[in-house]
Structure 1
Amino acid sequence: MGRTYKQLCLEERCEIARLSAGGSSIRQIAAALDRPPSTISRELNRNSGVQVGYKPSYAQQQMRARRWTGSRLEREPGLRRAVLERLGRGWSPEQVAGRLAREHGRRVISYESIYRFIYAQLTRTSDFSWRRYLPRGKSKRGRRGKRGGSPASFIEGRVSLDQRPIEVADRKTPGHWEADLMMFSKYGQQILAVHERTSRLLLGVPLASKLASGVAHHLVRLFEVLPQPIRRTVTFDNGTEFAAHLSLQSLLIKTFFCDPHAPWQKGGIENAIGRMRRFIPRNTDLEKLPTRRLRKSIAAYNNTPRKCLDFKTPTEVFAAQVLHFECESTSRLSPGRQCAGDDSGQGVRRVEPEGRLRGGPT
């Protein structure tokens, strides 16, 4: 009679791992699975990882890898010629797979198999001309990393968020701000947005460019009209447009920066910009946006009740909790009024609660 052999299945491999971890011997495991001891011994020797030991999923992967006989494009020269000929025309793997399926009335090959075949050739032959068969011409899968490291390395005097005063985190102390740029689809259009953490008040100034010197100039103009107790710190991300942040030291404002690739650490301004997208979408052309509409959009945000403020508006909280500081500088900003960026780029003026500029066009 012929001798038959049945491969171990995943369930049996799970049982081997459990019994082996429990200290059972090879013969005990073999008896429990009704398998020859040599089968268990071979399984443990061949499919155990150096660092992870014997793991059922890893053992299953090892078994499949040994049984792999190459991709279809390696086994079928005719199919390989058909695929490469179409790739040579500039078709993407997905287009090639879809067209072949249409011509044959069934799926012939998946686009994933084509990608794997091309990248396998790059790895095995080190012939990087194979990447020209792909629409993007990439020699590796995934996103390409940015060169030069994080922009944080180009910011002089950068202080990490870890060193920011603990009192900033609970949002109970006024005078701590966050700043970012609200970007738009058209190149060169952006709004400098500044957000007060306690009241959630938002200020906005359209910018003609992202030059660090210009951004710093507008930040100084925004904050210089405020009394000293409510201009304590500002938190930025690591964009180089904030590289001239040291200019704020003239106003005794301390500046801090989020960790690289962690803009969520200044979540207040991120949330505010997201809310402003309801009024001013990303595809808005700022050159065609009326000045009055921009003012009304910022006023609408500042006069919308917020759950986090017990359904008060940022304007109300800013007036009641921030502008009550009695110091000499409050004479320039009366109680009951809010600040908004001068959309003409001339700095900051006083505005009525409805968002109308005092002394500006109506």
Structure 2
Amino acid sequence: MKSEQLMETIQKYLELTWSPEQIPNTVLKGVISFKTIYRWIYDGTILLGDLSCLRQKGKRRKPRETRGRLNIRTSIHQRPKEVNKRHTLGHWELDMVVSSHGKSKDCLATFAERQTRFYVTIKIENRSDSEMYRAISELYELFPKDTFKTYTV
């Protein structure tokens, strides 16, 4: 329920340095949630990017993480039908596991062969594409060349 009057009321109280949590709990009881107010603030519907009236000035909001992209990837929808049926050897799924333990950002490159369900993990230094390519090269050295037909990332 985005009405002009509701927006003006929220804007007024935010400029009076009320927190987005205080407004729905006092003035707008049951009309709107504080999460909706935050969403409107961060998408520019209210305050228009001026977060200086917020107590934390928007500092507590974590920036969206952007994930790396590998140029060798094939969409699951584009891979051959024989891959889904698991009738032939050599179709691999690649992924990356990142530790969230403390400040550590240890990573593992994971490789799964679809037919045999054989898994290989290789420790990599970070989430960069160069490290993933290094892990793929390492995997290539472990098996004969005809073991690799397709990759799905």
Give the TM-score normalised by the residue count of structure 2: 0.61
Distance 1:164 1:214 in 2: 24
What are structure 1's unaligned runs of at least 5 residues?
1-60, 75-79, 101-107, 139-143, 237-362
Is 2:102 the counterpart of 1:182? no
From 33, 37, 48, the equivalent of 1:128 is 48
Is 2:83 the counterpart of 1:168? yes
Distance 1:215 1:209 in 2: 9
Equivalent AA in structure 1 for residue 140 of structure 2: F
Alignment of 1:89-108 (within 5 A): 92-98=19-25, 100=26, 108=27
Larger % of strand: which? 2
Could you say which residue in structure 2 is the equivalent of 1:215?
132
Deviation at 1:72, TM superposition (A): 9.7
Distance 1:164 1:69 in 2: 49
Flag the structure with larger Rg. 1
Deviation at 1:85, TM superposition (A): 2.8
Give the TM-score normalised by the residue count of structure 1: 0.30
Percent identity (aligned): 24
What are structure 2's unaligned runs of at least 5 residues?
none
Deviation at 1:180, TM superposition (A): 0.9
Is 2:122 the counterpart of 1:205? yes
Q: SS of 2:85's equivalent?
A: coil
From 140, 144, 150, the equivalent of 1:227 is 144
Q: SS of 1:223's equivalent?
A: helix
CA contact 2:74–2:152 (8 Å) conserved in 1: no
Deviation at 1:229, TM superposition (A): 3.8
Is 2:28 the counterpart of 1:109? yes
Distance 2:93 2:137 in 1: 14
Distance 2:137 2:49 in 1: 53
Distance 2:7 2:126 in 1: 54
Equivalent AA in structure 1 for residue 5 of structure 2: G
Equivalent AA in structure 2 for residue 176 of structure 1: H
Larger % of helix: which? 1
Q: SS of 1:93's equivalent?
A: coil
Equivalent AA in structure 2 for residue 173 of structure 1: T
CA gap of 1:232–1:83, structure 2 versus 1, over 3 A, is closer
Q: How many residues align?
A: 141
Distance 1:193 1:69 in 2: 51
CA gap of 1:194–1:136, structure 2 versus 1, over 3 A, is farther
| Aligned CA-pair RMSD | 4.4
